[in-house]
């Protein structure tokens, strides 16, 4: 498209207050990026902010807040809501903050949900104050919360009856990766809807895997949660063993990080874990919830997962000892408690 045509189109958009998507094909991209035209009143066209589509976000917790930051930074219009209003303050002036999830449903084109668990997603969608009644056909709900795969599928089917699209997008990584845009996103749902929303997903996820039909992504996420809970517990048990032997557990972590057993957990969290407490990035109660989801799913599928049972019992023990609102690496405190160590 030549410059004169682009300017004419921009002037038309300005005059008509047209609010839609313009695919200029200016960047020749495979992801069908949409470009925002800005007409400054003097005929100068800029392409500073690239998007006209409005993104909604419900849930500004440890994950939702940095995700919101990335979306705004990338130039999208964002409308957001959090049940506890105080958490909205961090976004004031940067995004449109509204008083209910229903207002998000009414004004956004794609709506991201990042809330605690299966019950929370169902409440946000289907309670008497839920979004379901207010989402128009053709819009897309993007669920980034870890929930029961069978429920995720039921939600998709219910939305489909109203021609509302559903993408299940569990995320790998925590708030630190969300802030830097380095999450890994697993996507299940319709491929076309995935492609349409890839630009927004890429604002917070540097790697995006399209898995296929719902709830494939959720199954993979549960398997990964099992892995990270087991790994954290193994590091905790190893450091307790080393400490009991009169050695410095920091040395153990340092050695782990010099071997093929190194992970982002051992690099970022493990040293802090053996030295004291950590700011929660994933609450231990959420890790227990994820292990419960895996257990329930294995039960539905009649799959025997013996390690899962043991790890889940440990996290349940830690939760019952009062560590639910600590970071999940507080599993080390529980292992110390049962070994009568400080
Ligand atoms: N943190 C991580 O490292 C991580 C990584 C990957 C995936 N996840 C998953 O991402 C999801 C969010 O995790 P998070 O760490 O951000 O949790 P979080 O910090 O505990 O935040 C939970 C959010 O859900 C909202 N919420 C809970 N119940 C609700 C309800 N009934 N109605 C409306 N809002 C409700 C909370 O609102 P209030 O503020 O009002 O309580 C809060 O905004 C979870 O499914 C988690 O398993 C987390």
Burial of residue 56 (number of CB atoms within 10 Å: 0-12, 13-18, 19+): buried
* Distance from C-alpha of 209 to C-alpha of 120, rounded to nearest angstrom: 25
- Largest alpha-carbon pair distance within the chain? 77
In this structure, the answer to whether residues 316 and 225 fall within a common structural domain is: yes
Is 146 touching ligand 1 by the criterion CB < 6 Å? yes
In this structure, the answer to whether residues 284 and 159 fall within a common structural domain is: no
| Average of per-residue pLDDT values in the chain | 88
Count the Cβ atoms, other than its own, within 10 Å of residue 323.
23
For ligand 1, atom 5, which residue shows the shortest CA distance? 174
Count the Cβ atoms, other than its own, within 10 Å of residue 190.
16
Question: Is residue 43 predicted with pLDDT exceeding 70?
Answer: no
In this structure, the answer to whether residues 15 and 41 fall within a common structural domain is: yes
Q: What is the pLDDT of residues 137-168, one digit of tens each?
A: 999 999 999 999 999 999 999 999 999 999 99
Is 87 touching ligand 1 by the criterion CB < 6 Å? yes
Give the residue carrying structure tokens 């049962």: 338
Nearest Cα neighbor of 79 from 71, 87, 209 is 71
Asked if 123 and 116 count as a contact pair (C-beta separation under 8 A), the reply is no
**3-17, 147-161, 181-195, 314-328: the lowest-pLDDT one:** 3-17
Q: What is the pLDDT of residues 226-264, one digit of tens each?
A: 999 999 999 999 999 999 999 999 999 999 999 999 999
pLDDT at 215: 98
Ligand 1 centroid–CA 168 distance in Å is 15
pLDDT at 9: 53
Pairing mode, strands 183-188 and 171-172: antiparallel
pLDDT at 276: 83
DSSP state of 186: E
pLDDT at 10: 45
Nearest Cα neighbor of 335 from 238, 225, 229 is 238
- Partners of 95 in the β-ladder: 92
17: left (phi over 0), alpha (psi -120 to 50) or beta: left
Higher pLDDT residue, 11 or 163?
A: 163
In this structure, the answer to whether residues 60 and 42 fall within a common structural domain is: no
Nearest Cα neighbor of 252 from 267, 242, 244, 262 is 242
Question: Is residue 42 predicted with pLDDT exceeding 70?
Answer: no
Nearest Cα neighbor of 316 from 220, 233, 223 is 233
Among 183, 212, 241, identify where a domain stops: 212
Task: Tell which atom from ligand 1 comes closest to the C-alpha of 280.
Answer: 1
Count the Cβ atoms, other than its own, within 10 Å of residue 255.
13
pLDDT at 37: 43
In this structure, the answer to whether residues 36 and 61 fall within a common structural domain is: no
Is 63 touching ligand 1 by the criterion CB < 6 Å? yes
In this structure, the answer to whether residues 231 and 103 fall within a common structural domain is: no
Task: Tell which atom from ligand 1 comes closest to the C-alpha of 59.
Answer: 43
Is 221 touching ligand 1 by the criterion CB < 6 Å? no
Question: Is residue 75 predicted with pLDDT exceeding 50?
Answer: yes
In this structure, the answer to whether residues 242 and 128 fall within a common structural domain is: no
* Distance from C-alpha of 122 to C-alpha of 270, rounded to nearest angstrom: 35
Mean pLDDT value of segment 86-93: 94
* Distance from C-alpha of 274 to C-alpha of 152, rounded to nearest angstrom: 37
Range of the domain at 182: 54-212
* Distance from C-alpha of 87 to C-alpha of 102, rounded to nearest angstrom: 18
Is 134 touching ligand 1 by the criterion CB < 6 Å? no
| Percentage of residues in the chain having pLDDT higher than 70 | 85
Question: Is residue 48 predicted with pLDDT exceeding 90?
Answer: no
Q: Please choose from 69, 102, 116, 280 the residue to mutate so as to test ligand 1's pocket, defined by most ligand atoms within 8 A of CB.
A: 116
In this structure, the answer to whether residues 143 and 257 fall within a common structural domain is: no
Task: Pinpoint the alpha helices (H) of 161-261.
Answer: 175-180, 191-204, 216-244, 249-256
In this structure, the answer to whether residues 94 and 197 fall within a common structural domain is: yes
We report the CATH number of the domain holding residue 127 as 3.40.50.720
In this structure, the answer to whether residues 199 and 239 fall within a common structural domain is: no
In this structure, the answer to whether residues 176 and 59 fall within a common structural domain is: yes
Task: Tell which atom from ligand 1 comes closest to the C-alpha of 101.
Answer: 33
State both tokens at 57.
């976000």
Question: Is residue 26 predicted with pLDDT exceeding 70?
Answer: no
State both tokens at 263.
């992970």
* Distance from C-alpha of 295 to C-alpha of 303, rounded to nearest angstrom: 9
Is 60 touching ligand 1 by the criterion CB < 6 Å? yes
Ligand 1 centroid–CA 142 distance in Å is 14
Contacts of 102 (CB under 8 A, 6+ apart): 129, 130, 131, 133, 134
* Distance from C-alpha of 248 to C-alpha of 229, rounded to nearest angstrom: 23
The terminus-to-terminus CA distance of the chain in angstroms comes to 69
pLDDT grade for 3, boundaries at 50, 70 and 90 = very low
pTM summary value: 0.87
Looking at the structure of the chain, the number of domains it has is 3
Ligand 1 centroid–CA 146 distance in Å is 9
pLDDT at 35: 42
């Amino acid at each position: 498209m030549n410059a004169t045509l682009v300017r004419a189109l921009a002037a038309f958009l300005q005059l008509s207050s047209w609010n839609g998507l313009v695919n200029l094909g200016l960047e020749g991209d495979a992801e069908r990026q949409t470009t925002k035209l800005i007409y400054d009143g003097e005929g100068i066209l800029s392409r500073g902010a690239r998007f006209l589509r409005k993104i909604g976000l419900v849930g500004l917790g440890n994950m939702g807040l940095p995700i919101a930051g990335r979306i705004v930074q990338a130039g999208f219009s964002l409308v957001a809501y959090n049940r506890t209003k105080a958490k909205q303050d961090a976004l004031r002036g940067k995004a449109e903050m509204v008083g209910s999830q229903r207002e998000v449903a009414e004004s956004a084109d794609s709506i991201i949900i990042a809330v605690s668990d299966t019950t929370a997603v169902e409440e946000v969608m289907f309670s008497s104050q839920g979004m379901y009644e207010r989402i128009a056909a053709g819009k897309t709900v993007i669920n980034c919360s870890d929930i029961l795969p069978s429920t995720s599928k039921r939600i998709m089917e219910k939305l489909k009856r109203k021609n509302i699209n559903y993408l299940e997008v569990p995320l790998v990584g925590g708030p630190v990766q969300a802030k830097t845009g380095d999450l890994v996103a697993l996507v299940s749902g319709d491929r076309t809807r995935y492609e349409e929303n890839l630009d927004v997903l890429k604002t917070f996820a540097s790697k995006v895997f399209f898995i296929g039909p719902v709830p494939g992504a959720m199954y993979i996420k549960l398997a990964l949660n099992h892995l990270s809970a087991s790994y954290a517990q193994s590091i905790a048990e190893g450091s307790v063993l080393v400490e009991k032997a009169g050695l410095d557990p920091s040395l153990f972590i340092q050695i782990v990080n010099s071997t093929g057993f190194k992970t982002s957990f051992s690099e970022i969290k493990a040293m802090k874990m053996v030295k004291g407490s950590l700011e929660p990035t994933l609450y231990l109660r959420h890790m227990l919830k994820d292990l419960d989801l895996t257990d329930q799913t294995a039960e539905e599928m009649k799959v025997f997962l013996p390690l899962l049972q043991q790890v889940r019992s440990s996290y349940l023990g830690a939760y019952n000892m009062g560590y639910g609102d600590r970071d999940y690496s507080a599993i080390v405190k529980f292992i110390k408690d049962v070994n009568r160590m400080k």
